[in-house]
Amino acid sequence: MDIFSTGITFKDMAGKTVDIGQYRGRVLLIVNTASKCGFTPQFQALEALYAAYKDQGFVILGFPCNQFAEQDPGTDKEILTFCQVNYGVTFPMHAKIDVNGENRHPLYRYLIENSAKVMGSQIKWNFEKFLIGKDGKVLKRYLSVKRPEGLKKAVEKALAK
């Protein structure tokens, strides 16, 4: 089953329910984020990637997570303000979720179950990325060290399909 047909929902920063199906036909980059992490500056490169391709059907979905050394302890409103003020983030940010453990959000359960098993069944750290094709299939999973600017070719290839 493709991700768009799963019925998975999550909350946006305003508390409104969002169905992943609304992104059908778009290329997605799903990222678990944190405001107080060594990788936090990736927000700037993520925003640049989003700005470069959003008019072609590319969307980045950010999901704050406080599971890694408690590096995102703020409220959803504080996190959103931080991202907008410090990094100019305009791509959709969502309510804080768990990406591991017994309370793992269904979105991340799906992503892990449908990505390369070589990376294991746990999210390793903040800013792991999942590239989703227009067909709703997980194309690639990237570890935190993969910088967003290094994803341009993969995004362009996914958009061209």
Helix or strand (DSSP H, E) at 53 = helix 42-53
Token pair for 11: 């909350």
Decide: 45 and 60 in contact? Cβ < 8 Å: no
Whether 37 is catalytic is yes
**Distance, CA of 146 to CA of 52 (rounded, Å):** 18
**Distance, CA of 130 to CA of 100 (rounded, Å):** 15
- From 37, 52, 119, 159, the catalytic residue: 37
Decide: 108 and 31 in contact? Cβ < 8 Å: no
Token pair for 129: 């990325």
Catalytic residues: 37
